[in-house]
């Protein structure tokens, strides 16, 4: 899940490529590089670590070329050092790549047997080698790329430059996204619309199997059979506005604090502000003909889906299967035709989720998706798209996208329940009015930020932390643990409270913080019993619940975080806020890189 950029420009392009890479850094940040063509010769600068290191190199050494490619890397094959950083050169060829060349070992062995020397440990270098060898045999760049496409297997988005060819840039896509941007006498290639937004709003997306041959004045698209095709030019809605942290120290905390606003934007898409009624635009489904919903997603989006399962089953009385997308496709589950396949993704590009979508499409299922990036591949390949309106999410640890996904799932469950006759109008009305109280209630929780920070300070010494919850609080326990381990590197586990006695109770001692998500709902008493089991063994309990329950347990627990009294339906959305803030402040006090934690990336476009 690297980010790639290419520009055929009128003036030197290295600086512009660097700026575009900054907008792609969410895809990976363990090394980066830029190559340009100067007087027909390829020159490059590469740096290990974050993009700022590349910026230093660019300040010290000028790359003057007006044609160039750039890359920000999330390492798959080969450690993240300068040698393995892209662009990779071989003879007259320079390549940047996002994805994995699955047959690179056999290709490499074949070429090494022919005497080729490989400089790097990457899979990408084989792409450059194949093209370079074909050109050595007298093939043109186009013929050589075509030959390479016939030989590599796997997932790739590629940008390729050739020495001596100032007006030629070739791109290719199989899996990870790639877009062509149109400028005035300039042409751009990029992993997404955000990268190209300051340069142009006119884009064409490559379809899977496509490759594209670009000059400053023309673009030719070819499909997987190498037939010339046309691809529509669309106007992207991605704004070129500079995305910054405002007055906040990190993007993550900015995004946490944006939640009252973005959740209300998201809900406004599904609850008509004039009559207060629910309407799910573009979702043309016979709810009564459906017997099952199959949800797949990854990471935090998967956890949102888990809350959705509880809601859809209770409110709409419909069976819901849910899988992490990387397992779903290989599970070989039956694919009943009366099922709806639902995919959830902030980026709309996650490789496993997209593969699951295509798997369902192959089985003829109807496909709906909840996505934050409206022009993403998952959105474009779905029959129905249910957008979240979270705005650009930069922090690698997802926060506002999660609560917005929950907002959409809540609306979906209500609509399904109404259509299926499970909910009467009065209950629908109550649930919708509960959703409308979310922005205000979220504000209330955010006001406890300083108190939550104090609690977080006490977590920084812990090696292990347990999160417990029941019902819709169970996924929030999972999300709390995931957030914490992602950004603080403290080992954390989320568990169904009832499962405590089947294993994790063995871990409990005076050193072990246990965060109990137990809002005042129908399952509270049950979770309380599990909490007592922890207390009896000396565990350090942090209770997330309503004021009344916090007061009652003041002597039992080490600390409490209150959530406001509201319809219990919205409790998982409210309880998400304290676990986000706890993770954030713990990580800040531990001095980790909150927005770009080690080894992670925001958009994971490899399987």
- Residues at the contact surface with ligand G6P, assessed by CB under 6 A: 298-301, 345-347, 350, 353, 396-398, 600, 602-604
How is 455-492 classified by DSSP, letter by letter?
HHHTTTT-SEEEEEE-TTHHHHHHHHHHHHHHHH--EE
CB of 257 to ligand G6P, least distance (A): 18
CB of 538 to ligand G6P, least distance (A): 34
Quick check: helix, strand or coil at residue 308?
helix
Q: Given the complex with ligand G6P, which of 67 and 347 has the nearer CB atom?
A: 347
CB of 388 to ligand G6P, least distance (A): 10
Cis peptide before 519 (omega within 30 of 0): no
Residue numbers annotated as active site: 2, 602
Burial of 266 (0-12, 13-18, 19+ CB in 10 A): buried
Contact 545, 560 (CB under 8 A): yes
Helix, strand, coil fractions of the chain, as percent rounded to 5: 40, 25, 40
CB of 401 to ligand G6P, least distance (A): 7
CB of 225 to ligand G6P, least distance (A): 30
> Any idea what DSSP says for residue 87?
P
Q: Given the complex with ligand G6P, which of 122 and 345 has the nearer CB atom?
A: 345
Contact 484, 463 (CB under 8 A): no
Q: What are the CA-CA distances from residue 499 to residues 121, 464, 527, 531 (Å)?
A: 44, 17, 11, 12
CB of 419 to ligand G6P, least distance (A): 27
Q: Given the complex with ligand G6P, which of 111 and 251 has the nearer CB atom?
A: 251
CB of 482 to ligand G6P, least distance (A): 8
Q: Given the complex with ligand G6P, which of 74 and 270 has the nearer CB atom?
A: 74
Q: Given the complex with ligand G6P, which of 200 and 347 has the nearer CB atom?
A: 347
CB of 563 to ligand G6P, least distance (A): 23
158: β partners? 97, 172
CB of 607 to ligand G6P, least distance (A): 13
Q: Given the complex with ligand G6P, which of 67 and 300 has the nearer CB atom?
A: 300
- Integer Cα distance of 517 and 561 in angstroms: 10
Dihedral sign, CA of 124, 127, 133, 138?
negative
Backbone phi, psi, residue 177, to 5°:
-70, 155
Say what angle helices 125-136 and 141-151 make with each other, to 10 degrees.
130
Q: How many CB atoms lie within 10 A of CB 272?
A: 12
Q: Given the complex with ligand G6P, which of 63 and 394 has the nearer CB atom?
A: 394
Q: Given the complex with ligand G6P, which of 269 and 347 has the nearer CB atom?
A: 347
Q: Given the complex with ligand G6P, which of 4 and 298 has the nearer CB atom?
A: 298
H-state helical runs in 239-344: 251-257, 259-268, 299-316, 325-328
Backbone phi, psi, residue 605, to 5°:
-100, 20
Say what angle helices 14-23 and 51-60 make with each other, to 10 degrees.
170
104 contact partners, CB below 8 Å, separation of at least 6? 77, 123, 126, 152, 154
Q: How many CB atoms lie within 10 A of CB 399?
A: 30
Q: Given the complex with ligand G6P, which of 190 and 597 has the nearer CB atom?
A: 597
Dihedral sign, CA of 136, 137, 140, 146?
negative
Contact 605, 349 (CB under 8 A): yes
Contact 602, 595 (CB under 8 A): no
Q: Given the complex with ligand G6P, which of 446 and 600 has the nearer CB atom?
A: 600
Backbone phi, psi, residue 471, to 5°:
60, -140
CB of 405 to ligand G6P, least distance (A): 8
Backbone phi, psi, residue 527, to 5°:
-65, -35
- Integer Cα distance of 306 and 112 in angstroms: 48
Dihedral sign, CA of 230, 235, 237, 239?
positive
Closest CA to 64 of 39, 100, 27: 39
CB of 601 to ligand G6P, least distance (A): 6
b/e for 6-19, b at 16 or more Cβ within 10 A?
bbbbeebbbebbbe
Q: Which residue is nearest to ligand G6P (CB)?
A: 299
CB of 177 to ligand G6P, least distance (A): 12
- Integer Cα distance of 193 and 120 in angstroms: 30
Q: Given the complex with ligand G6P, which of 142 and 324 has the nearer CB atom?
A: 324
């Amino acid at each position: 899940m690297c980010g790639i950029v290419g520009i055929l420009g009128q003036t030197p392009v290295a600086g512009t490529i660097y700026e575009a890479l900054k907008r792609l850094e969410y895809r990976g940040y363990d090394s980066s590089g830029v190559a340009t063509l100067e007087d027909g010769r390829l020159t490059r600068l590469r740096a290990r670590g974050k993009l700022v290191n590349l910026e230093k190199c660019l300040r010290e050494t000028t790359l003057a070329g007006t044609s160039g490619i750039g890359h920000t890397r999330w390492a798959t094959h080969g450690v993240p050092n300068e040698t393995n950083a892209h662009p990779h050169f071989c003879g007259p060829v320079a390549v940047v790549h996002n994805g994995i060349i699955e047959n690179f070992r056999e290709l490499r062995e074949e070429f090494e047997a022919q005497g080729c020397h490989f400089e790097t440990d990457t899979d990408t270098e084989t792409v450059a080698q194949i093209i370079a060898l074909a050109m050595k045999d007298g093939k043109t760049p186009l013929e050589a790329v075509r030959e390479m496409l016939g030989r590599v297997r796997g997932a790739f988005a590629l940008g390729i430059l050739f020495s001596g060819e100032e007006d030629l840039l070739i791109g290719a896509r199989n899996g990870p996204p790639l877009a062509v941007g149109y400028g005035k006498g300039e042409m751009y290639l990029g992993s997404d619309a955000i990268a190209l937004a300051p340069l142009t709003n006119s884009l064409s997306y490559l379809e899977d199997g496509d490759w594209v041959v670009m000059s400053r004045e023309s673009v030719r698209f070819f499909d997987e059979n190498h037939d010339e095709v046309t691809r529509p030019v669309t106007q992207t809605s991605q704004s070129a506005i500079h995305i910054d942290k405002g007055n906040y120290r990190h993007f993550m905390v900015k995004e946490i604090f944006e939640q009252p606003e973005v959740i209300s934007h998201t809900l406004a898409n599904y609850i008509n502000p004039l009559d207060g009624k629910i309407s799910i635009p573009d979702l043309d489904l016979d709810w009564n003909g459906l017997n099952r919903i199959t949800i797949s997603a990854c990471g935090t989006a998967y956890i949102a889906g888990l809350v959705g399962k509880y809601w859809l089953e209770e409110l709409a009385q419909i069976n819901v299967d849910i899988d992490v997308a990387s397992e779903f496709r290989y599970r070989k589950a039956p694919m009943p035709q009366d099922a709806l396949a639902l995919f959830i993704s902030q980026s709309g590009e996650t490789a496993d989720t997209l593969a699951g979508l295509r798997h369902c499409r192959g089985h003829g299922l109807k496909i709906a998706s909840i996505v934050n990036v409206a022009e993403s591949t998952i959105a474009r390949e779905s029959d129905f798209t249910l957008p979240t309106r979270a705005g650009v999410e930069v922090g690698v640890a997802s926060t506002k996208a999660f609560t917005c996904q929950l907002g959409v799932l809540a609306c979906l469950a209500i609509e399904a329940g109404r259509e299926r006759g499970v909910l009467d109008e009065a209950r629908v009305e109550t649930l919708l009015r509960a959703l409308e109280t979310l922005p205000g209630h979220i504000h209330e929780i955010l006001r406890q930020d300083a108190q939550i920070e104090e609690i977080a300070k006490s977590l920084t010494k812990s090696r292990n932390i347990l999160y417990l919850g029941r019902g819709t609080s169970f996924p929030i326990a999972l999300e709390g643990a995931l957030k914490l381990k992602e950004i603080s590197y403290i080992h954390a586990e989320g568990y169904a409270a009832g499962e405590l006695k089947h294993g994790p109770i063995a871990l409990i001692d005076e050193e072990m913080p246990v965060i109990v998500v137990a809002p005042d709902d129908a399952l509270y008493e049950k979770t309380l019993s599990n909490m007592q089991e922890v207390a009896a063994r000396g565990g350090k309990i942090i209770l997330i619940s309503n004021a009344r329950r916090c007061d009652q347990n003041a002597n039992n627990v080490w600390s409490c975080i209150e959530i406001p009294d509201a319809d219990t339906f919205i409790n998982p959305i409210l309880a998400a806020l304290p676990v986000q803030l706890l993770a954030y402040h713990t990580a800040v006090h531990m001095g980790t890189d909150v927005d770009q934690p080690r080894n992670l990336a925001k958009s994971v476009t490899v399987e």
